[in-house]
Amino acid sequence: MTTTRLTDALRIGRGKVDLSAYDSRSTPGFGGTKRDQPKALESLAGPLSDNQERLYAGAVAGTSDRRVLVVLQGMDTSGKGGTVRNAVGLLDPQGVTVTSFKAPTADELAHDFLWRVERALPQAGEVGIFDRSHYEDVLIGRVRELADPAEIERRYDAINAFEQSLVDSGCTIIKCFLHISPDDQLERLRARLDDPTKHWKYNAADVDERLLWPRYQEAYETVLELCATDAAPWYVVPSGRKWYRNWAVAQLLAEHLGDVAPEWPKADFDVEVERQRLDATADVGH
């Protein structure tokens, strides 16, 4: 469905970022409408599965230490959970770890902010998903003044150094900002109130956070300006249309897995010898 790589279409450039200039309901790189999405998503399943298995096989065989980390960030209702279900859900769960970062525990607060993140990193062969991440420490951390300004400033550099080191050691990082407008959020919060099966997702504090929308957008803009590096770029994923968001993250995953998946490991045994050994066991259990 795409002619150019979505990786190129959604990657944010260097310089000043003005999120209000991004249309949350746009569908860059998708050559069709909502009706065409299921087929497009389905056509990604094969390549995703094949490349994920190569990644995994390389780790099992000890011939590759590549791994992939997907960072999902976005305002409440932007659909981090829905993206995990619908895009990440295309992968084999055996090679996937999903970590949802909540408010830090006392144990976590007693360490540097990156400590809990390091412990949740994917192993060789795995795809790790962060539903929220170390970026919370410069988002809610900044907006709610959970640390002093000098510490917040220090963190941007610490994050860039941390991510550079991850990339240098074989980890591909796909950072997705799920971009919605304040009206998208209003509509979705209303939908949660209207549907009793969604009440559990609603929290009265969501409205308080919403009132801080301009400050959150500014905090996101700062992140996108300071932490979109060559090693670990940010992708702005228009997320006003859920079907597009799900496809876009799956497509980003497919492109990156396609880039890093190694060749199938070569046999470290003599195939003909093993065939004969196996043939000799034909009667086992009879």
Residue 25 — φ and ψ, nearest 5°? -105, 10
103 in contact with a copy of itself (CB under 8 A): no
261 in contact with a copy of itself (CB under 8 A): no
Half-sphere exposure of 122 (CA within 13 A, CB side): 29
Between 92 and 157, whose beta carbon lies closer to a copy of itself? 92
Between 35 and 286, whose beta carbon lies closer to a copy of itself? 286
Closest contact distance (angstroms) between CB of 14 and a copy of itself is: 25
Closest contact distance (angstroms) between CB of 147 and a copy of itself is: 25
CA distance 190 to 284: 64
**Member of 111, 145, 169, 186 binding a copy of itself (CB under 8 A):** 186
Closest contact distance (angstroms) between CB of 125 and a copy of itself is: 11
**Member of 81, 146, 158, 218 binding a copy of itself (CB under 8 A):** 81
**Member of 28, 47, 89, 258 binding a copy of itself (CB under 8 A):** 89
Between 230 and 272, whose beta carbon lies closer to a copy of itself? 272
Closest contact distance (angstroms) between CB of 102 and a copy of itself is: 11
176 in contact with a copy of itself (CB under 8 A): no
204 in contact with a copy of itself (CB under 8 A): yes
214 in contact with a copy of itself (CB under 8 A): yes
281 in contact with a copy of itself (CB under 8 A): yes
With CA atoms as reference, report the closest residue to 112 among 132, 141, 72, 145.
141
Q: What is the per-residue binding string for a copy of itself in 23-62, x denoting contact by CB under 8 A?
A: --------------------------x-------x--xx-
| Contacts to a copy of itself by CB under 8 A | 49, 57, 60-61, 81, 84-85, 88-89, 91-94, 96, 98, 100, 129, 131, 181-182, 186, 189-190, 193, 196-197, 199-202, 204, 207, 210-211, 213-214, 217, 264-267, 269, 271, 274-275, 277-278, 281-282, 284-286
